[in-house]
Amino acid sequence: MILSIESSCDDSSIAITRIKDNKLIFHKKISQELIHSKYGGVVPELAARLHAVALPNILEETKKYFDDLKAIAVTNEPGLSVTLVEGVVMAKALAVSLGLPILPINHLKGHIYSLFIEDETRFPMDVLLVSGGHTQILHVEDYDNIKIIATTLDDSFGESFDKVSKMLGGGYPGGPVIQEYSQKGDVNRFLYTVPLSNSPKMAFSYSGLKNQVRLSIEKEEVLSEQVKADICASFQKTAVEHLMQKLKKAYKNRQIKNFGVVGGASANLHLRSRLEAFCKEKNAALHVAKLEYCSDNAAMIGRCAVDAYKLKKFKDIDKINISPRSSF
Ligand code: KG4
Ligand code: ZN
**Three state DSSP letters for 171-189:** CCCHHHHHHHHHCCCCCCC
Q: Which helix (H) or strand (E) holds 68?
A: none
Class of domain 2-117+293-319: alpha beta
CATH 3.30.420.40 in the chain: give the residue spans: 2-117+293-319, 125-288
Ligand 1: residues whose CB is within 6 Å? 9, 131-133, 158-159, 161-162, 173-176, 179, 263-265, 267-268, 295-296
Residue 138's pLDDT is 98
pLDDT per position as a tens digit, 17-65: 999 999 999 999 999 999 998 888 899 999 999 999 999 999 999 999 9
Pocket probe mutation, ligand 1, options 13, 37, 295, max atoms within 8 Å of Cβ: 295
CATH homologous superfamily of 125-288 equals: ATPase, nucleotide binding domain (3.30.420.40)
Q: Ligand 1, atom 8: nearest CA belongs to which residue?
A: 264
DSSP characters over 73-112: EEEEESS-HHHHHHHHHHHHHHHHHHT--EEEEEHHHHHH
Judge residue 59's burial from the number of C-beta atoms within 10 Å of its C-beta, 0-12 exposed, 13-18 middle, 19 or more buried: middle
Give the environment of ion ligand 2: residues with CB less than 5 A. Answer: 131, 296
pLDDT at 82 over 90: yes
CA distance 316 to 297: 24
Q: Could you tell me the pTM of the whole model?
A: 0.97
What pLDDT, in 10s, does the model give residues 291-305?
999 999 999 999 999
